[in-house]
Amino acid sequence: MKVAVLYNGEFGISLIGNLINFSGFCISCGDACTLCKSGKYSMAEDLVSIIEMPDPKTLDDFIDDVGPYIPADIPKAEIAIVVGVHPDITFGLLPALLEKGYKGIIGGSENPADLPLGTRLQLEEEASKLGMEAAFAKPFCALRPDPEKPSIKAFMEKARFGEPAIEILTQRSRKGKRTILAANVIRSAPCGSTWYVAKRMVGLETDQEDLRERISEAHHAYPCTASMDQDIELKDTILHKAGYIIREAVEDAISCAREVEAGNSRAD
């Protein structure tokens, strides 16, 4: 499944690094790195183009003619990931992507100024009129696979990309307690933070009092790149919303965790 990324800003760079899973991308563990992502996945062979777009802050709020900002060298592919791009330019990209055979476009918001709800809904509507799938989320790690958007869903499954999903294995430890033996990432937040959070869960007890604080610490330490500015739509900061999402993912995984017998440490 061929993919192109059109981006501006640091989040786009993080997303690309996670998408292709190149060695040395994640440095959060430092010298304690165990190469937990090594060989698990990579979209490197599917990523046909990375196009840096103009910084929206350097452009007018409204752009009447987006033509000069639409790349002339967009390659053929199936999925376009658009992050940190001016909304008017994103609208202008739709027919250009359609012409190149794209089946879907996805994107997300990491700060309050990016793609408010009305704009996201309009983009999905315009894409639908053109016969394309579209999915936008705030924050980007709220993006869920949708069976009604099969091309985007197939990409998310292959890239292990979107709303975090984790599988946890536990083992009985001291009396009445279960310890997390392994935390396997099924799907990671686009920035890649889920892998780090999952690793930090290993060795913790499933009901320990500070579990939520441990999840939050790991999420911040990665670090999450979402804004700490108050968002009108979310009535909270986007970073906090992202924190709630990964916390729920871990808690959901614990609630349906598979328990293994002592002495059996297989985590597959």
CB neighbour class for 87 (10 Å; exposed up to 12, middle 13-18, buried from 19): buried
Domain locations along the chain: 3-159, 165-260
What is the spatial distance between Cα 189 and Cα 225, in angstroms, rounded to a whole number? 11
Beta strands in 66-140 (DSSP E): 79-83, 104-108, 133-137
What is the spatial distance between Cα 154 and Cα 160, in angstroms, rounded to a whole number? 10
CATH number of this structure's domain 165-260: 3.30.390
DSSP alpha helix (H) spans, 100-146: 117-129
DSSP annotation of 205:
B
* Fold type of domain 3-159: Rossmann fold (3.40.50)
CA 176 vs CA 167, 168, 173, 244, 268: distances in Å: 21, 18, 8, 28, 25
DSSP code per residue over 133-195: EEEEESSGGG----TTSHHHHHHHHHHTBSS-EEEEEEEE-STT-EEEEEEEEEEB-TTSHHH
The pLDDT tens digits along the chain (268 residues) read: 899 999 999 899 989 999 998 777 777 777 777 777 888 888 999 999 999 999 999 999 999 999 999 999 899 999 999 999 999 999 999 999 999 999 999 999 888 888 889 999 999 999 999 999 999 999 999 999 999 999 999 999 999 999 999 999 999 887 778 999 999 999 999 999 999 999 999 999 999 999 999 999 999 989 888 999 999 999 999 999 999 999 999 999 999 999 887 765 554 4
What is the spatial distance between Cα 48 and Cα 162, in angstroms, rounded to a whole number? 20
pLDDT of residue 242: 95
pLDDT of residue 23: 73
pLDDT of residue 268: 47
